[in-house]
């Protein structure tokens, strides 16, 4: 394994960026609602134990705890783990534990959880060996028959985001975008946080292949948002009940369409740990 410490610029990004409120704003609301919809279908019924790796400030952990699961949150960012602890300490159905740890080296024992969420760590692991280490750890801590839900950023997300926001007017963005399209490595060396931070961008087949190689069976990769996340009037549509329902319907309808899965900003791979 390479150096188990995360890129310092990634930690610095999350120390400054309000990740704790991201899923309540703009097109990220579509990501949140659709991810919850997919997880509701994929996860075993409560009660059960869930390990939320890369759980940040606990958006998914809190939602799952409220549904009756025993949820253990892990994140590499001390700031976000503390934010999660403070935000949810008085919850009626609290998150069971909060731990600062790296996805590539989890402290939990083998077969710890009925389901494992990896909802962010793969975003920032540019080296394949590191992504595989994180996925193999997820496989190790999953119980036999357990479910894994693994999130990834689509290889094509920066291109589509650039179209929506006219980023091509900035040649620095064009260089970042084209480099990512070539090999999946998103390297923001501009100092402008608008263009995210060090990341890896998956193709749908790339995510499926990595999860399968890590040992997960029956892997299916779904598009989370569909194409609706790039609409310039997204906020207006989301505020309208009928148009919000339409955004969700289109994303749901297209989630398995091979020609359009990568048009989502985020991919969600669902697999299981086969019983021996």
Rounded to an integer, the average pLDDT of 218-243 is: 97
Report the share of the chain in percent with pLDDT over 90. Answer: 95
Q: Is 124 among the domain residues? A: yes
* Burial degree of 169 (CB within 10 A; 0-12, 13-18, 19+): exposed
- pLDDT tier at 5, thresholds 50, 70, 90: low
Q: Is 132 among the domain residues? A: yes
List pLDDT tens digits, range 57-86. Answer: 999 999 999 999 999 999 999 999 999 999
Asked if 171 and 184 touch (Cβ cutoff 8 Å), the reply is: no
Q: Is 159 among the domain residues? A: no
Q: How many contiguous H segments (helices) and E segments (strands) does the chain have?
A: 11, 9
> What is the domain count for the chain?
1
pLDDT value of position 7: 77
CATH label of the domain that carries residue 41: 3.40.50.150
Q: Is 168 among the domain residues? A: no
Rounded to an integer, the average pLDDT of 218-235 is: 97
CB atoms within 10 A of CB 16: 11
List pLDDT tens digits, range 21-71. Answer: 999 999 999 999 999 999 999 999 999 999 999 999 999 999 999 999 999
pLDDT value of position 2: 47
List pLDDT tens digits, range 160-199. Answer: 999 999 999 999 999 999 999 999 999 999 989 999 999 9
| Cα-based angle 56, 153, 272 (whole degrees, multiple of 5) | 75
Q: Is 181 among the domain residues? A: no
pLDDT value of position 3: 52
List pLDDT tens digits, range 99-154. Answer: 999 999 999 999 999 999 999 999 999 999 999 999 999 999 999 999 999 999 99
Average pLDDT, the chain: 96
SS (H, E, C) 76-114: CCHHHHHHHHHHHCCCCCCCCEEEECECCECCCCCCCEE
Q: Give the range of the structural domain holding residue 132, as residue numbers without chain letter.
A: 8-154+201-273
Q: Is 189 among the domain residues? A: no
Q: Is 188 among the domain residues? A: no
Q: Is 241 among the domain residues? A: yes
pTM of the predicted model as reported, rounded to 2 decimal places: 0.95
pLDDT value of position 149: 98
- Measure the CA dihedral 243/245/250/251, to 10°: 120
């Amino acid at each position: 394994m390479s150096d188990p410490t995360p890129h310092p610029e990634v930690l610095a990004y999350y120390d400054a960026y309000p990740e704790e409120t991201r899923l309540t704003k703009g097109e990220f609301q579509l990501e949140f609602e659709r991810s919850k919809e997919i997880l509701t279908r994929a996860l075993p019924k409560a009660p059960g134990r869930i390990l939320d790796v890369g759980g940040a400030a606990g958006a998914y952990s809190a939602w799952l705890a409220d549904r009756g699961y025993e949820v253990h949150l892990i994140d590499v960012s001390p700031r976000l783990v503390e934010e999660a602890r403070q935000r949810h300490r008085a919850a009626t159905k609290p998150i069971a534990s909060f731990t600062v740890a790296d996805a590539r080296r989890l402290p939990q024992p083998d077969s710890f959880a009925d389901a494992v969420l990896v909802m962010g760590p793969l975003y920032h692991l540019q080296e394949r060996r590191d992504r595989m280490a994180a996925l193999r750890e997820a496989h190790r801590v999953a119980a036999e028959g357990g479910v894994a839900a693994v999130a990834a950023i689509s290889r094509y997300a920066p291109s589509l985001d650039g179209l929506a926001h006219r980023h091509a007017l900035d040649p620095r963005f064009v260089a970042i975008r084209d480099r990512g399209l070539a090999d999946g490595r998103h390297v923001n060396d501009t100092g402008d946080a608008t263009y995210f931070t060090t990341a890896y961008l998956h193709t749908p087949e790339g995510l499926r292949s990595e999860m399968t190689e890590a040992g997960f069976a029956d892997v299916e990769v779904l598009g989370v948002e569909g194409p609706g996340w790039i609409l310039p009037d997204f906020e207006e549509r989301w505020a309208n009940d009928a148009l919000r329902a339409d955004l969700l319907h289109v994303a749901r309808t297209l989630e398995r369409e091979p020609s359009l899965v990568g048009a989502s900003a985020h991919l969600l791979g669902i697999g299981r740990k086969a019983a021996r």
